[in-house]
Amino acid sequence: MFESKRMAKVLFFILIFIGGLQFLPAVNAKEGMWIPATLKKHENQMKALGLEIPIEELYNENGGGLNNAVVLFGRGCTGEIISSKGLILTNHHCGYGSVQGLTSLKNDYFATGFFAKGLNEEIPCPGLTVTFIRKMENVTQKILPGISDTLKDAIRDSIIAGRIKGLERDYEYKTGMDATIKSYYEGNQYWVAITETYTDIRLTAFPPNGIGTFGGDDENWIWPRHTGDFSVFRVYAGANNKPATYAANNKPYDATKFFKINTSGYKEGDFTMVYGFPGTTMEYISSFELNQVYSIIDPISIAARTKKLNVWSNHMNAKRDVFLKYTSKRATVANGWKKWQGEVLGLKVNNAIEKKQAFEKGFQDWAIKNIREPYVKNILPQLQAGAAGVNDLIFQDQHIREEVFGIELIQQGVSLDKMVACFRGKFSESELRDTLQKLAKGLDWFYKNYDMETDKDVFASLMPLYMRACKQNLPLYYKEQYRKHLNSCRRWSKSVYNKSLLASSDRLLEFAKKATQADSNVLKEDPALRLYNEVAAIRKEKISPKVDAYKTIKHYLNRLYISAQMSYEEQKDFYPDANLTLRLAYGNVKGLDPDGPAGYSFQTTLGDVVALDDTTSTQFKVPSKLKELYKTKDYGRWGVNGTMPVAFIAANHTSGGNSGSPVLNNKGELIGTNFDRAYEGTMSDYLFDPNRCRNISVDIRYTLFILDKFGGAGWLMDEMSFTK
């Protein structure tokens, strides 16, 4: 029953999608991810759409702006400060890796969740950081004067790198904080970010997977969503509220700016904003580069990861300890795998390459007539020739990346290569063994989350893809080993894992303890190292030099191309591609399929979650306590007319890195936490379509309900500020 209902729903959405969603009304989506310091020029439009507060409240370099409440969480997510005591709200999947490091079979936080009952129960998270953006400033005029647009990148980059280094040093001296200068518009513009990074971060609350990853792969990148994708951490500070390494006597960060929480909800059409750190977009590339993504890179990655994820899932479902080792890795791999499928479909349905080509025809006609900058007429022909010259090499390299280096044992062959180098050093026998043991123990991080039997099956599953796709360019060693094992990758796999020192930490450490100078050949002939070195040699000798040369000229040409596009479309409001720097996007709450099944439009509820409950499924198993709260309608002060909102969608332009971003209303108050995009619009990194592109967020009321009624962490609400 469950499967048939779900299949009907999926088929409905696919039919609607392929049909082009032509019935949807116009939306107030505004394409673009804007640098906060440039928002003043958007103020009139934002107010026309519903903004009620001055722009200066969103960004203020003197410390009074909400930019001081948005943080770069870890190295690729966003978080928001939601209390004066440094409480951080972000996504469940953003905290997943850190929580895995704190989890064991005894304390299985993925199964039970974690909810601290006071500050004394919060758990330190080694290696986790959060970074505040205190100020952003356009420094283009300090970086580019005297540098010609057509100066070759090797010379240009050398001059710019020197200027950046000196300017960053000056800013750090003047501010006493960190300073990082990044390029925008492919190097046509430069901005400095003045930042403070805190390293004492502690876990406060983390829902179990039955809430935080509910729906799993089936619902990832899909609307409707039913996931409580949030987690809560806290920033701790040292003396004077400044960054400090972990110490038991550190105090919660004293936040002068934090988000007020609005619990009155929203309605379709309401103005919204997303504030965060989008990672990478490529909106202005040529059709030739886009075709590499669409026809080569994405399809290869999807096929390889489909195989890999199937193997991982089988082993994870069979053994809980394997699940705990691979759950974070699997989430990362699966996230890209599902997103790229939607991306390929979105690019196809939107005729993205054809649209690029049509634009390029008009651009080229203009470029040929351009007298002021005659070099622009050669940009597109050179980009086309460059892409054509490396497409086959990119094809080979992507297969190596996903299928050969997708096998963990081979990927770690580089570690054995470091050990081989030790035998060339002038070490005594005891010094050699001591060095080898240190290198072996240095791999503890790898073995902690590694299972040999799982990886062995990955080898048997992925290697055939590589052998077939690249049969004309295979290393001789691969051909010989394949024939030796009777053309069976499974036999070959068993042999490799039986022989390789890398397959077991005990095996590797035992070798290191007893090694002598005469044992260098044991390492050199290790099958994992041979497999690694053979493809590494092909990449180094035949692939990387040409691909790297192409990337160098492509970067040069793309810099000229986007500058020329700005001249060609003078009236267009260009925004820089995302580069993991602070941005603000704005749009409105907008359903993707208002007439679809089950009445889904712009919001889902706890009733929808419980309706999907399947006790036989790891992805759709609702925790019993959550079902009881639903049954008794025990929502506390967070419910709305007998219902509990869970997730909603809006038409804001987001990307990877926006995970965990605060979703704000017209007064800059927190109404949700961004965590995903809709499948129909995952191509927005390359093409933004306002009819299809949606960001998906956890309703803040669901977050508070889970913390309060499910997790028993109501004490956290005492430090938050609420408004209606």
Q: Helix, strand, or coil here: 623?
A: coil
Query: What is the rounded CA–CA span in Å between residue 199 and residue 71?
Result: 13
Do the beta carbons of residue 272 and residue 664 sit within 8 Å?
A: yes
Per the document, the length of the chain is 724
Best CA proximity match to 228, nearest among 634, 714, 709 = 709
Active site residue 485: no
Residue 229 near residue 159 (C-beta atoms within 8 A): no
**Residue 196 forms beta bridges with which residues?**
132
- 10 Å Cβ neighbour count for 701? 24
**Other C-beta atoms within 10 Å of 689: how many?**
17
Catalytic residue among 183, 231, 655, 659: 659
Phi, psi torsion values for 657, nearest 5 degrees? 105, -30
Q: Give, in degrees to the nearest 5, the angle at Cα 164 between 163 and 166.
A: 65
Half-sphere exposure of 450 (CA within 13 A, CB side): 20
Strands in 249-376 per DSSP E: 251-252, 261-262, 271-276
**93 a catalytic residue:** yes
d(CA 124, CA 201): 6
**Long-range contact set of residues 625-632: C-beta below 8 Å, sequence gap at least 24:** 625/710, 626/210, 626/211, 626/710, 629/709, 629/710, 630/606
Say if residues 690 and 27 touch (Cβ distance below 8 Å): yes
* 189-198/178-184 β-pairing: antiparallel
Closest CA to 671 of 589, 608, 584, 585: 589
Which residue among 92, 93, 226, 653 is the active-site one?
Answer: 93
Q: Among residues 92, 226, 229, 493, which one is catalytic?
A: 229
Residue 718 annotated among the catalytic residues of the structure? no
Give me the active site residues, please.
Answer: 93, 229, 659
